[in-house]
A and B are shown apart, each in its own frame.
Chain A
């Protein structure tokens, strides 16, 4: 369990992490989501005691990181795949970490095997591809067989095979009852792995909720309609009090409307429909809406919103 309480980090005037309070619960995958620069990595560095909080507190199983005896046995972390000496072999990199925490040498062979690097164990890390470096970093995180694992953007820069491997690894770690705390700036990635979501923007907590609740609260459902009798249908729907947005190429979107009702309405007025389909806005949209609002609120509060939410990025 990782508990953050009022965690704050300031760099001069800039507030990187602003009064974060949440708990990463045991036995599930908690996704830590936010746009680039939201303060995810800074938060994770504070969890590991690498950066000192300006204010607030973070505890692992009730204790400060630097009070953990052999910390790699409590929490394993992959913050940066390149955080290793390139001139050292994979085996020696893991060996020096193992020795510092009193972990037996045999465990080094085990984790190398787990991540599939046994064949290149004697090779220098600087010759490794990004994916191999990532695997070596993960081997380091698994070294102490910790109950908590923390990964910062673990799929960044990985090829599809590597991404697939990483996803399955996280799921299997959680299935073993371990606590997994993983950050990403991609909502779609989180949707595939996380049970719980913590969303931050501009260093502030925006949401701390289960994945299912997050989708329900933040996504927008609408009905997509295509018809050759656009004007008539618009009149009818407006008459029925349904908000309709016109999209390009003759498509209409009825916000919050029920497809059945719209279909019946169209039939009653003998309007031909070419398409009538209920749509759920993607998680990516929900996430962008949430963070876009936060960005707008904090950074551009003096400029009025230019249009309906997401209008800009939808066009591109």
Chain B
């Protein structure tokens, strides 16, 4: 069983279902639209900001604001890519064709990750460009220090969110269960934990909090985060690896 055959097969699978197109389209559209809106609002509010807030003003990070919602569509993409196999019963046909379960799972995840990376990068660059256009005189330039890193990091962040979801879906199998846990987690719980002072120290080690650090160019004035941009992405990567190992262990052990 050559892995390249399985990768080709998984590419056919992913391009031949509608959910791929609509989840990724929503991710792009929502991220861009919300990013532009918040950039425009930030520009008009700039004059009302305090001195500290102006020092912490990060035009690059502001243009990524749409990702808080856009990432939810990436989560749906990641979950559906894996759990569709289970919810449709296709998994039995798939594993009969490719009984090497590791090859099966990681070919699928490799293909979906590649696609998410392309979409994530395009989205990240587009939302940066559009967001800066909205910010007008407060805009950042791609050649400013740390900006290119942040924009590439934005693409990596969206990709890793999707891969993390794939790993979780491989563990839980059910699309409803996976989404029911991941959506509220990333939309609500992570934000609450990250903003309540008592839990902030824990919250910032969650995958999205740590990973989104890479998109910051200006460090907030009173910041005491114990890791840098790449350190944060590294923490996120550890979460992703843990989810993938868990997903593989479940697939390897359980009956299909």
The answer to whether B6 touches A100 (Cβ under 8 A) is: yes
In the assembled complex, the CB of A103 is this many whole angstroms from the nearest CB of chain B, namely 9
The answer to whether B12 touches A71 (Cβ under 8 A) is: no
Asked if A6 CB lies within 8 Å of chain B CBs, one says no
Asked if A95 CB lies within 8 Å of chain B CBs, one says yes
Residues of A within 8 A of B99 (CB): 48-49, 65-66, 68, 71
Among candidates A50, A89, A96, residue contacting B96 with C-beta atoms closer than 8 Å: A50
Residues of B within 8 A of A50 (CB): 92, 95-96, 255-256
The answer to whether B88 touches A97 (Cβ under 8 A) is: no
The answer to whether B9 touches A80 (Cβ under 8 A) is: no
The answer to whether A49 touches B6 (Cβ under 8 A) is: no
The 8 closest A-B pairs by CB, nearest first: A100-B9, A92-B16, A66-B99, A83-B89, A99-B9, A96-B12, A51-B255, A50-B256
The answer to whether A82 touches B89 (Cβ under 8 A) is: yes
Residues of B within 8 A of A77 (CB): 96
Which A residues have a C-beta under 8 Å from some C-beta of B?
Answer: 45, 48-52, 65-66, 68-72, 77, 79-80, 82-89, 92, 95-102, 140
Asked if B141 CB lies within 8 Å of chain A CBs, one says no
Q: What are some 24 contacts across the A-B interface (CB < 8 A)?
A: A45-B92, A48-B92, A48-B95, A70-B1, A82-B89, A84-B90, A84-B93, A85-B17, A85-B88, A86-B88, A87-B19, A88-B16, A92-B13, A95-B16, A96-B9, A96-B13, A97-B93, A99-B9, A99-B12, A100-B8, A100-B94, A101-B1, A101-B97, A102-B5
Check A85/B5 contact, CB under 8 A, given A71-B99, A96-B16: no
The answer to whether B95 touches A49 (Cβ under 8 A) is: yes
Asked if B18 CB lies within 8 Å of chain A CBs, one says yes
Question: How far, in angstroms, from A149 to B13 measured CA to CA in the complex?
Answer: 24
In the assembled complex, the CB of B254 is this many whole angstroms from the nearest CB of chain A, namely 9
Residues of A within 8 A of B88 (CB): 82-86
Among candidates B9, B17, B19, B255, residue contacting A45 with C-beta atoms closer than 8 Å: B255
In the assembled complex, the CB of A176 is this many whole angstroms from the nearest CB of chain B, namely 22
Among candidates A72, A80, A85, A92, residue contacting B92 with C-beta atoms closer than 8 Å: A80
Asked if B183 CB lies within 8 Å of chain A CBs, one says no
Question: How far, in angstroms, from A45 to B99 measured CA to CA in the complex?
Answer: 12
Asked if B84 CB lies within 8 Å of chain A CBs, one says yes
User: 4 extra interchain contacts, Cβ-Cβ under 8 A, other than A50-B92, A50-B95?
Assistant: A48-B95, A69-B1, A82-B88, A99-B8
Residues of B within 8 A of A49 (CB): 95-96, 99
Check A100/B255 contact, CB under 8 A, given A70-B1, A86-B88: no
Residues of B within 8 A of A95 (CB): 12, 16
The answer to whether B95 touches A101 (Cβ under 8 A) is: no
Closest to A84 in B: B90
Residues of A within 8 A of B85 (CB): 85
Question: How far, in angstroms, from A69 to B2 measured CA to CA in the complex?
Answer: 9
Most buried by A among B1, B16, B96: B96
In the assembled complex, the CB of B52 is this many whole angstroms from the nearest CB of chain A, namely 52
Closest to B254 in A: A52
Closest to A50 in B: B256
- Binding site of A, secondary structure by majority: helix, strand, loop or mixed? loop
In the assembled complex, the CB of B94 is this many whole angstroms from the nearest CB of chain A, namely 8
The answer to whether A85 touches B2 (Cβ under 8 A) is: no
In the assembled complex, the CB of B110 is this many whole angstroms from the nearest CB of chain A, namely 14
Check A101/B5 contact, CB under 8 A, given A50-B95, A72-B97: yes
Asked if B208 CB lies within 8 Å of chain A CBs, one says no
Question: How far, in angstroms, from A92 to B98 measured CA to CA in the complex?
Answer: 17
Residues of B within 8 A of A45 (CB): 92, 255-256
Residues of B within 8 A of A70 (CB): 1
Question: How far, in angstroms, from A231 to B12 measured CA to CA in the complex?
Answer: 77
Question: How far, in angstroms, from A88 to B13 measured CA to CA in the complex?
Answer: 8
Residues of B within 8 A of A79 (CB): 92, 96
Residues of A within 8 A of B8 (CB): 99-100
Question: How far, in angstroms, from A140 to B100 measured CA to CA in the complex?
Answer: 19
Question: How far, in angstroms, from A259 to B18 measured CA to CA in the complex?
Answer: 69
In the assembled complex, the CB of A96 is this many whole angstroms from the nearest CB of chain B, namely 4
Question: How far, in angstroms, from A70 to B97 measured CA to CA in the complex?
Answer: 7
Residues of A within 8 A of B17 (CB): 85, 87-88
In the assembled complex, the CB of A41 is this many whole angstroms from the nearest CB of chain B, namely 11
Question: How far, in angstroms, from A45 to B95 measured CA to CA in the complex?
Answer: 11
Check A100/B98 contact, CB under 8 A, given A45-B255, A87-B19, A88-B16: yes
Residues of A within 8 A of B13 (CB): 85, 88, 92, 96
Residues of A within 8 A of B91 (CB): 83
Residues of A within 8 A of B94 (CB): 100
Question: How far, in angstroms, from A69 to B6 measured CA to CA in the complex?
Answer: 13
Closest to B13 in A: A96
Question: How far, in angstroms, from A68 to B1 measured CA to CA in the complex?
Answer: 8
Residues of B within 8 A of A82 (CB): 88-89
Closest to B100 in A: A66
Among candidates A52, A71, A89, residue contacting B97 with C-beta atoms closer than 8 Å: A71
Question: How far, in angstroms, from A189 to B9 measured CA to CA in the complex?
Answer: 36
Closest to A87 in B: B17
Closest to A70 in B: B1
In the assembled complex, the CB of A35 is this many whole angstroms from the nearest CB of chain B, namely 22
Question: How far, in angstroms, from A95 to B5 measured CA to CA in the complex?
Answer: 11
B233-256 vs A: 1/0 string, CB under 8 Å? Answer: 000000000000000000000011
